[in-house]
Amino acid sequence: MDFEVWPEAIELGHLFADQGYELALVGGPVRDLLLRRPSHDLDFCTSARPEEFEPILHKWGQGFWDMGRKFGTLGALRRRPDGTEVKVEVTTYRSDTYEPDSRKPEVNYGDSLEGDLSRRDFTVNAMALRVPDLEFVDPFGGTNDLAKQVLRTPVDPRQSFDDDPLRMMRAVRFVAQLGFRIAPETAEALSDMTERITIVSAERVRDELTKLLLSEHPHEGVESLVDSGLADYVLPEVPALQLEIDEHHRHKDVYEHSLMVLDRAVALETGPDGPVPAPDLTLRLAALLHDIGKPATRRFESGGKVSFHHHDVVGAKMARKRLKALRFDHHLIEDVCDLIAMHLRFHGYVDERWSDAAVRRYAKETGSLFERLNRLTRADATTRNQRKAQVFSAAMDELEDRVRELKQREDLDAIRPDLDGQQIMEILGLAPGPMVGKAYKHMLDYRLDQGPVDEQVARAELESWWAQQQ
């Protein structure tokens, strides 16, 4: 077959063969080799036991790890002269068995490469390349499925998903990563067995969802997640967006709108040196979830109108609960929820141009999320009315220009009151306590409204405010 194999893989194959062991490159690296996709982490399987091939890995690499030893897996790292790294993981042939209420296998060593491949998730990942002689092994028709861009399990899909339900999440993730479709019999089994995903840890589900969203085709991955029924257990707020459209079509299909916003947000990500480098998980999660508060806030008003008052606030609370349940990082959760809570903030600007004070406050309050929020806001403007779209885009351009101009004059990220806490206590004769905090907040608001002033003006403002508190 016409492909160029990593020289490190060939070298490692020779080292194993010299000791009388079989070694084969397996799984994703073989698939990506055929697809001409880059792959930096190489997975192998071998006839040798861990204690037998551990010395080989120590000899081959400059780094070594054995966290997967109980599963028959050891890893090593090789640094190339150009500074890039090649990571390898080698696993003894396996033939696992599973308990019905657990996806953790009882590890049994196997005795053949073909037997090991039969326990893989999909046929396109059940191909192997023996090294160093480069014999291609494809017992389940993976190359055919690869050509057809189909995801199919090597064994009966019900057995495969019953053994390891996380494979269902991997199926929809590969739809997003590779742009493949799930074979009909595999899709049917997946839809029938979605409840099995509940035995998988939240962390594992989160990791697959993250890979899905960071992929080249997140829209298709989310659609597959919803259409299969998996989202009902993993991310139920998204299928809940499929509200019935009223007969007069006075409001958008919120689910389709959210997928469109996701697409538009992805398109607005930047290169590695830009303010929002692609792929950006925070922006993509916020785009997907920004309207999840709408079903709970939908009201039918007089005249056939539909409203979703405060769906931004409600949606942020719902997103926080779901992302916590999925064990996402605390800082990411806060950023995503802040974006959802603020995603309507800009809309008033279109109707009435903000003062410098309002622009300063917007820039200060959005802080490090300013660039992401602007991209989310632009992505959310999905109107088909070209005039409205142009007015909205021009207003966004103007706001961003004004913020840039203000930042050149002031350090908006580091704005503080013109009087610090110690000065406030001295001027008002206060001891530390709640009133100092109130005074500080007032002076911060004053600073945001007025811009920087000298100490005498700030002092007069503080004394005027204090007189009103008496």
Mean pLDDT over each residue of the chain, to the nearest integer: 90
Res 41: pLDDT: 87
| Residue 128 burial (C-beta neighbours within 10 Å; 0-12, 13-18, 19+) | buried
Confidence of residue 246 (pLDDT cuts 50, 70, 90): very low
CA distance 458 to 443: 8
Mean pLDDT of 314-338: 97
Residue 74 has pLDDT above 90, yes or no: yes
Residue 111 has pLDDT above 80, yes or no: yes
Fold of the domain spanning 1-141: Beta Polymerase; domain 2 (3.30.460)
Quick check: 315 and 292 in contact, CB under 8 A? yes
Residue 102 has pLDDT above 60, yes or no: no
Distances (CA, A) of 380 to 79, 157, 292, 360: 44, 39, 13, 23
- Comparing CA positions, the residue from 284, 218, 228, 294 lying closest to residue 255 is 294
CA distance 458 to 225: 56
Token pair belonging to 314: 């409600």
Q: Which range, of 80-94, 187-201, 400-414, 417-431, averages the lowest pLDDT?
A: 400-414
31-35, 242-246, 330-334, range with greatest mean pLDDT: 330-334
pLDDT digits (tens, 9 = 90+) for 24-69: 999 999 999 999 888 778 999 999 999 999 999 999 998 999 999 9
For 82-110, b where at least 16 C-beta lie within 10 A, e where not — what string?
Answer: eeeebbbbbbbbbebeeeeeebebeeeeb
Residue 1 has pLDDT above 80, yes or no: no
Res 256: pLDDT: 93
pLDDT digits (tens, 9 = 90+) for 274-312: 999 999 999 999 999 999 999 999 888 887 788 888 999
pLDDT digits (tens, 9 = 90+) for 363-376: 888 888 999 999 99
Residue scoring higher pLDDT (253 or 144):
144
**DSSP symbol at 109:** B
Q: What is the pTM of this model?
A: 0.83
**Would residue 189 be called left, alpha or beta, if left means φ above 0 and alpha means ψ between -120 and 50 degrees?**
alpha
Residue scoring higher pLDDT (413 or 179):
179
Quick check: 293 and 312 in contact, CB under 8 A? yes
**DSSP symbol at 354:** P
Residue scoring higher pLDDT (191 or 422):
191
Residue 247 has pLDDT above 50, yes or no: no
Q: Where are the alpha helices (DSSP H) in 245-310?
A: 254-267, 281-289, 294-297
Token pair belonging to 278: 């692609």
- Comparing CA positions, the residue from 131, 130, 33 lying closest to residue 139 is 130
Quick check: 346 and 358 in contact, CB under 8 A? no
Domain assignments of the chain as residue spans, ordered by start = 1-141, 274-414, 421-469
CA distance 361 to 366: 8
